[in-house]
């Protein structure tokens, strides 16, 4: 796993590559972040008993985003909170990127299928985005 920081060391995001998940659970996000994502390597026969999650009240401000590449490749640019580009990284099949703060852009470099995950509700671009 790789944490992406700004020049002052503030964590902006993280990348977990499929091959880095070597055993059990690999947490991608620090506990304080709005999104909690982990990678899991599971063996045949493992199971999880039936369960549901308790109704915990949560209060959040902001939108966080994660991308999981199923196939293909994209190039992500991560910007600090002032809008300065600080990281450019490729994401390929099986990679997961999560943005905790700052801004981002993406360029598709190969035909790509991916998941995008955000905390909701999503109310559309006009309510959700500020273009740099």
- pTM exceeds 0.95, yes or no: no
In a domain, 123, yes or no: no
In contact, 80 and 45? CB cutoff 8 Å: no
In a domain, 126, yes or no: no
Tokens representing 64? 């966080």
In a domain, 73, yes or no: yes
Q: Centre a 10 Å sphere on the Cβ of residue 10 and count the other Cβ atoms it contains.
A: 13
In a domain, 56, yes or no: no
Check residue 127 and give its pLDDT. Answer: 79
**Following DSSP, what letter does each residue of the chain receive, concatenated?**
-EEEE-TT--EEEEEE-GGG--SEEEE-S-TTSS---EEEE--TT----S-----------S--EEEEEEEEEEEEEEE-TTS-EEEEEEEETT-EEEE-SSEEEEEEEEEEEEEEEE-S----HHHH----
Check residue 112 and give its pLDDT. Answer: 98
Check residue 30 and give its pLDDT. Answer: 87
Mean pLDDT by 10-residue block, N- to C-terminus, for the chain (132 residues)?
A: 94 93 86 89 93 90 92 97 96 96 97 93 79 86
State the CATH number of the domain containing residue 85: 2.60.120
- The total domain count for the chain is 1
In a domain, 46, yes or no: no
Q: Centre a 10 Å sphere on the Cβ of residue 107 and count the other Cβ atoms it contains.
A: 11
State the residue range of the domain holding 31.
Answer: 2-41+62-118
Return d(Cα 33, Cα 101) in angstroms, integer.
10
């Amino acid at each position: 796993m790789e944490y992406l920081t700004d020049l002052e060391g503030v964590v902006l995001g993280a990348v977990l590559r499929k091959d880095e998940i070597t055993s059990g659970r690999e947490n991608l996000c620090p506990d304080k972040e709005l999104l909690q994502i982990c990678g899991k390597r599971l063996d045949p026969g493992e199971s999880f008993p039936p369960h549901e999650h308790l109704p915990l009240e949560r209060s959040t401000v902001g939108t966080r985003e994660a991308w999981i590449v199923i196939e293909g490749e994209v190039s992500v640019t991560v910007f600090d909170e002032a809008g300065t580009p600080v990281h450019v990284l490729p994401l390929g099949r099986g990679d997961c990127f999560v943005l905790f703060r700052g801004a981002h852009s993406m360029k598709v470099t190969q035909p790509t299928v991916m998941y995008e995950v955000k905390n909701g509700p999503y109310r559309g671009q006009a309510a959700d985005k500020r273009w740099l």
